[in-house]
Amino acid sequence: MGSYKMFFCFKRSFRHNEVEPPPDVKYAFSTFTNGWGQMSPEQLLRFMIGYQGDTRSTISDAQAVVDNIRHHRHLASFTRPLLTLDDFHHFLFSPLLNAPFISQVHQDMTAPLSHYYIYTGHNSYLTGNQLSSDASDVPIIKALTEGVRVIELDIWPNSAKDDIDVLHGRTLTAPVALIKCLRSIKEHAFVASPYPVIITLEDHLTPDLQAKVAEMVTQTFGEMLFYPPEECLEEFLSPEELKYRILISTKPPKEYLESKTFKGSRSQRERDSSDDEEWGKEVPYLQPEASDKRENDIDEQDQYESDVDDSDYKLPQNAAPQYEHIIAIRAGKPKGGLQNSLKVEAGKIKRLSLSEQALEKAAASHGTDLVRFTQKNMLRIYPKGTRVNSSNYNPLIGWTHGAQMVAFNMQGYGRSLWLMHGFFRANGGCGYVKKPDFLMEVGESSEVFNPVENLQVKKTLKVRIYMGDGWRLDFKQTHFDTYSPPDFYTRVGIAGVPADAVMAQTSIVEDDWAPVWNEEFIFPLTVPELALLRIEVHEHDMSQKDDFAGQTCLPVSELRLGIRAVPLFDRKGKMFKSVKLLMRFEFV
């Protein structure tokens, strides 16, 4: 709240001006009605095709828009089915009728799974922070209903050692029974999307409990569970082939180390037992720098694993063959050096996991190896262990290198998670987004895309922000300012490869619940396929931190051209009922 407003507060009022159509809307209406004051369904169709670029629209679509608007504006059914300028503006400013991106699945879904980015959760069972929040099936259900397709479960023996719990091991997290999580997954797996759900298991079990997991999984999911037809697939099946199926991904049971005969230290045993970050037995961390250094350091891990001989531990003979049989996607950690781990093996596919830090190191030295590996195999990235508050990281590094599973703390918060939400709004929100062709191409000399190569601008996106509305309906009058209407401004920019990343800002519109900016921004893009349009609205405050007023991220490759209504979301990613912007998108 600005101090100058405090002084003049007695003169302020909470007025609301009627939102008037911007000049571009008036011009378009006049152009497509030939200056008449009303628009017919046929004229609306010409606008939708010629101005908006909706080339697949039909007269039935235009008629449905007219009928919808007339119904919601309570126009008499016996009057002529025509739109006034205000009706036309209402249509353009409706996210339901004039969304900024396609709401249906429209990409090819018949390529192998490795050709897609997959909406991936990390520690999907946690209700809050990584150290002391409860484990529950509630966040799993929430993730699935929002389109997440990869659910991660850490499985441990229960206190009696006769059953399986899900919890974040060696922390204060309270457990939840595995069977409860499995039943909730079965019930909610395909509420948001028909495409396959992958369960990644972080396995800390003995062979007898692995066998019990296999029994639970097969009995719970039945025919929904995908069994690999062979011991090891040569190529992943496609999302289309795996519709309504559930896949298990974990390390084969032969990787289980018998602790009684293993010669390594306890801390080192624990490090090798998991496919994820390690927390140690001290809770909570007091020295994040030390844990950063310790966490999944590739060189240390490679040295350790190369020094261990098979004779140093006993592998259970034929341990839980049922368990091995249910694994559809075999997982592992880097062994024998990263370059060796990234080798593409003929007739064999796998999943490799790297921490966000390990990815950054690998991207600097093995960028093209990562791209080549992900053309056929799966790469999963997970948050570093010091993110105890369930924060997240920049997902673009993983996506740029072809990583299919960029695992996020979905119960977290912040701009990184907003990017994740926005990215997977693509392709109808089905949880699978086809990777760009350039990441899958192999040149005549076996060369692949090099993420650090300087690229030319491929497209230029022009964005115009006309106006915003809806805050007066979704917020209390005193939410932003005690004594006067809010002072809104919009931040807009690109999240993408480093060359494309930029942010800009509109002017501040003072004292208006329905601000009009009518400002244009131009964004040159070298990799438009991976670019996200970032939009944030804030309320300016002279004496305190500016107030948050809404955000969204839109995949640039999915933008529908022309004038569009853009709904905004709160900090947690929930869409506001009324808050929206009117914008125009154009490629030049």
Indicate whether 79 and 151 sit together in one domain. Answer: no
Question: Cα–chain-centroid distance for residue 92?
Answer: 27
Question: Exposed e or buried b for every residue in 314-337, given b needs 16+ CB within 10 A?
Answer: eeeeebbeebbebbbbbbebbeeb
Q: What CATH number does the domain containing 10 carry? A: 2.60.40.150
pLDDT tens digits for 117-173?
Answer: 999 999 999 999 999 999 999 999 999 999 999 999 999 999 999 999 999 998 999
Confidence of residue 76 (pLDDT cuts 50, 70, 90): low
Contact in structure between 557 and 528 (CB atoms under 8 Å): yes
Angle (deg, nearest 10), helices 85-92 and 59-72: 100
Indicate whether 148 and 224 sit together in one domain. Answer: yes
Calculate the dihedral angle through the C-alpha atoms of 266, 269, 275, 280, rounding to the nearest 10 degrees.
10
CA distances to 306, 427, 437 from 309, in Å: 8, 47, 42
**Residue range 73-97: mean pLDDT, rounded:** 84
Structural domain contains residue 323: yes
pLDDT exceeds 90 at position 3: no
Q: What does the pLDDT read at residue 253?
A: 84
Return all residues near 229 (Cβ < 8 A) that are at least 6 apart: none
pLDDT exceeds 50 at position 268: no
State whether residue 559 is helix, strand or coil: strand
Parallel/antiparallel/unpaired status of strands 197-203 and 246-250: parallel
CA distances to 81, 89, 210, 255 from 84, in Å: 10, 9, 67, 70
Contact in structure between 204 and 273 (CB atoms under 8 Å): yes
**Residue range 360-367: mean pLDDT, rounded:** 95
Indicate whether 513 and 377 sit together in one domain. Answer: no
Q: What does the pLDDT read at residue 322?
A: 84
CA distances to 218, 354, 401, 528 from 406, in Å: 27, 10, 11, 19
pLDDT exceeds 60 at position 292: no
Q: What does the pLDDT read at residue 438?
A: 97
Q: What percent of the chain lies above the pLDDT cut of 90?
A: 76
Q: What percent of the chain lies above the pLDDT cut of 70?
A: 84
Q: Which residue has the higher pLDDT, 18 or 115?
A: 115
pLDDT averaged over every residue in the chain: 86
Q: What does the pLDDT read at residue 317?
A: 36
Return all residues near 162 (Cβ < 8 A) that are at least 6 apart: none
Token output for 453: 């190569």
Report the alpha-carbon distance of residue 151 to residue 149 in Å, rounded: 7
The residues that bridge with 354 in the sheet, in sequence order, are 381
Parallel/antiparallel/unpaired status of strands 327-332 and 351-355: parallel
Confidence of residue 79 (pLDDT cuts 50, 70, 90): low
Q: What CATH number does the domain containing 244 carry? A: 3.20.20.190
**Which of 77-81, 99-103, 503-507 is most confident?**
503-507
Residue ending a domain, among 367, 398, 433, is 433
pLDDT exceeds 50 at position 290: no
Q: Which residue has the higher pLDDT, 254 or 32?
A: 32
Indicate whether 355 and 461 sit together in one domain. Answer: no
**Residue whose token pair is 């650090």:** 452
* Residues written for the chain: 588
Q: What does the pLDDT read at residue 316?
A: 57
Category of 401 on φ-ψ map: left (φ > 0), alpha (ψ -120 to 50) or beta: alpha
Q: How many CB atoms lie within 10 A of CB 211?
A: 17
Category of 280 on φ-ψ map: left (φ > 0), alpha (ψ -120 to 50) or beta: left
Token output for 287: 């020295």
Report the alpha-carbon distance of residue 558 to residue 234 in Å, rounded: 32
The count of C-alpha atoms lying within 13 angstroms of the C-alpha of 313, restricted to the half-sphere facing its C-beta, is: 19
Q: Is the peptide bond before 515 cis (omega within 30 degrees of 0)?
A: no
Indicate whether 566 and 533 sit together in one domain. Answer: yes
Structural domain contains residue 379: yes
The residues that bridge with 502 in the sheet, in sequence order, are 494
Contact in structure between 587 and 461 (CB atoms under 8 Å): yes
**Residue range 579-585: mean pLDDT, rounded:** 98
Contact in structure between 350 and 330 (CB atoms under 8 Å): yes
Q: What does the pLDDT read at residue 17?
A: 58
Pick from 210-224, 275-289, 471-485: least confident: 275-289
Q: How many CB atoms lie within 10 A of CB 577?
A: 10
Structural domain contains residue 448: no
The residues that bridge with 433 in the sheet, in sequence order, are 117
Give the gyration radius of the chain's Cα atoms: 27
Indicate whether 332 and 428 sit together in one domain. Answer: yes
Contact in structure between 269 and 313 (CB atoms under 8 Å): no
Q: How much of the chain is helix, strand and coil, in % rounded to 5?
A: 30, 20, 45
Indicate whether 11 and 44 sit together in one domain. Answer: no
Confidence of residue 256 (pLDDT cuts 50, 70, 90): very low
Q: What does the pLDDT read at residue 228?
A: 80
Indicate whether 421 and 484 sit together in one domain. Answer: no
Category of 347 on φ-ψ map: left (φ > 0), alpha (ψ -120 to 50) or beta: left
Q: What domain count does the chain have?
A: 3
Indicate whether 490 and 580 sit together in one domain. Answer: yes
Report the alpha-carbon distance of residue 408 to residue 124 in Å, rounded: 9
Q: What CATH number does the domain containing 48 carry? A: 1.10.238
Confidence of residue 74 (pLDDT cuts 50, 70, 90): low
Q: What does the pLDDT read at residue 21?
A: 96
Contact in structure between 435 and 108 (CB atoms under 8 Å): no
The residues that bridge with 248 in the sheet, in sequence order, are 199, 327
Active site residues: 122, 168
pLDDT exceeds 90 at position 514: yes
Confidence of residue 285 (pLDDT cuts 50, 70, 90): very low
Pick from 34-48, 49-63, 227-241, 392-406: least confident: 227-241
Indicate whether 76 and 143 sit together in one domain. Answer: no
Q: Which residue has the higher pLDDT, 14 or 158?
A: 158
- Domain span at residue 72 reads 23-92
pLDDT tens digits for 311-320?
Answer: 332 335 344 4
3-state DSSP of 360-416: HHHHHHHHHHHHHHHCCCEEEEECCCCCCCCCCCCCHHHHHCCCCEECECCCCCCHH
pLDDT exceeds 80 at position 193: yes
The count of C-alpha atoms lying within 13 angstroms of the C-alpha of 292, restricted to the half-sphere facing its C-beta, is: 6
Token output for 113: 């799974």
**Residue range 371-391: mean pLDDT, rounded:** 96
Indicate whether 559 and 411 sit together in one domain. Answer: no
Q: What does the pLDDT read at residue 71?
A: 84
Structural domain contains residue 417: yes
